[in-house]
Structure 1
Amino acid sequence: MDILSLIGVVLAFAAILGGNLLEGGTLAMLFNGPAAIIVIGGTLAAIIIQTPRPVLVRAGKIFGWIFMPPYLAPEEGLDKVIGWSLRSRKEGLLGLESLADSEPEPFARKGLQVLVDGSEPEAVRAILEVELEFGEERDLDAARVFEAMGGYSPTIGIIGAVMGLIQVMTNLEDPATLGSGIATAFVATIYGVAFANLLLFPIASKLRSLVRQRSRYQEMMIDGLMAVAEGENPRSIELRLRGYLQ
């Protein structure tokens, strides 16, 4: 689990709620059903209209990366490549077949399988680079969903504020309804701005960072596989690939 993401979410809500309490407010002041429906419902509606279904589905799948990011261990990946190199120098590329079958990481497993099948190194590189580029672009598009939601949320909050003020203006003769209308107006604005800047924009940035980390790892594996295919010295491979770990 990414403990920093959890700490960030808790701290964000603690800052808002704690600041409100220090100002003499109550927790109930910040909980407003109509405002939440307007901001959350409106933001979701806007993003559903804007986003193609495959991108929206992918965004839902990678949302969990915020707390449970995909497991990447560059040091372990480097050790794997060195092991493949040593084995291929002793047994040839066919000696990697058993390792390909047991490799748990899908990208590395595919690279090993294509290599063992006898494909030329450049063909192996082309196959893996297509998968890397497609996967990176797909997941960056998914991360942009949350960025777009962060753009819509404050505007929807303003809509909620205007709706609350309309209620106030149309019921000036009934003081009992003024409080709820004003509350909806201001709380909707808080919801819109807070969701955008404390959750949605940070989520989008975190996801982009994770996608780039995965792409960098996959680039390292591609370079490593190419070096193994060309029979490079394991020590030279290690020195080159350590540049990816900096």
Structure 2
Amino acid sequence: MDPATLIGFVISLIALVVFMILEGADPTSLIFLPAIVLVVVATFGAAAASQTMSDLTKIPGWFKMAVLPAKVPPPTENIQILVGLAEKARKEGLLALEAEVKKVDDAFLRRGLQMSIDGTDPEDLRAVLESEIAAKKAEDKVAAKFMNNMGGYAPTIGILGCIVGLMNVMGNLSNPEALGPMVSAAFIATLWGVMAANFWFLPMGAKITRVSELQAAQMELLVEGIAEIQAGTSPRTVRQKLTSLVPPSEREREAA
């Protein structure tokens, strides 16, 4: 799991547990299986109902994107690769990159370089690569929306659990001693709904959006690098242009 995501989850839970202790409540009361099953399973089902079958096959990947470390290399790493390629292309021509392309790990960069070597018109090359970035953003937007939908459904489903619990309470009014625990159990479902939405599902949606932004920015940097290599720009200028696309905080961190 991404350390930042794990830290956020843990801090949220600790804050809730401390609050319950300070209020005199028993934190172990959160471990109520019926409420957990209802909120988690029913929320997932409701969100799944809003997707297509093709989308459902992607859900495992969406959860990985939400909780695992982002697959985004440091910008300086890609800049160094592009500058090295620019040096070779400047000295030996674009065709000399044919062998180098096979060593590139990034599939997007590899495709762009191959199109450049094949003599694709610069405008067409940029249009194709930018279309690929747009398609990536659109797909990630669906993933983030799925998580946000879960965040929207969870509190309402928690309320449904509370209503069912209160119905059970009304059916047992003849047993006053059991009413307290039953009312408490009813409201735990609501707590789980609100907690799951705001501690997990909505943050996971935001995490996917952030990762998508970082990956898109990296791809845009690669597009600029490929275009400069194709144009025969000097390696020093390539480095300067690409470095200008890196956020100042990233440049300062790398310089340190």
Question: Match of 1:118, as an amino acid?
Answer: G
Deviations 1:10-66 (A, max 9, x none): 111111122222322223311112111221122011011111233333342032232
Spell out the pairing of 1:50-199 with structure 2 (5 A cutoff): 50-65=50-65, 66-175=67-176, 177-199=178-200
1:7 aligns with 2:7: yes
Spell out the pairing of 1:216-227 with structure 2 (5 A cutoff): 216-227=217-228
Question: Match of 1:148, as an amino acid?
Answer: N
Shift of 1:118: 2.2
Deviations 1:102-143 (A, max 9, x none): 101111111112222222222221221221111111011111
Q: Which residue of 2 aligns with 1:45?
A: 45
What is the CA–CA distance in structure 2 between the aligned matches of 1:229 and 1:41, rounded to whole Å?
52
Shift of 1:67: 2.8
What is the CA–CA distance in structure 2 between the aligned matches of 1:72 and 1:89, rounded to whole Å?
25
CA contact (8 A) 2:122 2:227 kept: yes
What is the CA–CA distance in structure 2 between the aligned matches of 1:113 and 1:237, rounded to whole Å?
19
What TM-score, normalized to structure 2? 0.90
What is the CA–CA distance in structure 2 between the aligned matches of 1:45 and 1:62, rounded to whole Å?
16
CA contact (8 A) 2:72 2:218 kept: no
What is the CA–CA distance in structure 2 between the aligned matches of 1:69 and 1:53, rounded to whole Å?
26
Question: SS where residue 118 of structure 1 aligns?
Answer: coil
What is the CA–CA distance in structure 2 between the aligned matches of 1:179 and 1:31, rounded to whole Å?
17
Shift of 1:176: 5.1
What is the CA–CA distance in structure 2 between the aligned matches of 1:197 and 1:104, rounded to whole Å?
37
Identity in percent: 33
What is the CA–CA distance in structure 2 between the aligned matches of 1:33 and 1:180, rounded to whole Å?
15
What TM-score, normalized to structure 1? 0.94
Q: Which residue of 2 aligns with 1:27?
A: 27
What is the CA–CA distance in structure 1 between the aligned matches of 2:45 and 2:234, rounded to whole Å?
56
Shift of 1:180: 4.3
Which stretches in structure 2 are left out of the alignment for 5+ residues? 248-256
Question: Match of 2:197, as an amino acid?
Answer: A
CA contact (8 A) 2:3 2:69 kept: no
Shift of 1:220: 0.8
What is the CA–CA distance in structure 2 between the aligned matches of 1:44 and 1:5, rounded to whole Å?
20
Which stretches in structure 1 are left out of the alignment for 5+ residues? none
What is the CA–CA distance in structure 1 between the aligned matches of 2:113 and 2:177, rounded to whole Å?
72
Shift of 1:5: 1.3
What is the CA–CA distance in structure 2 between the aligned matches of 1:63 and 1:152, rounded to whole Å?
17
What is the CA–CA distance in structure 1 between the aligned matches of 2:70 and 2:20, rounded to whole Å?
33
What is the CA–CA distance in structure 2 between the aligned matches of 1:183 and 1:53, rounded to whole Å?
38
CA contact (8 A) 1:168 1:181 kept: yes
Shift of 1:242: 1.5
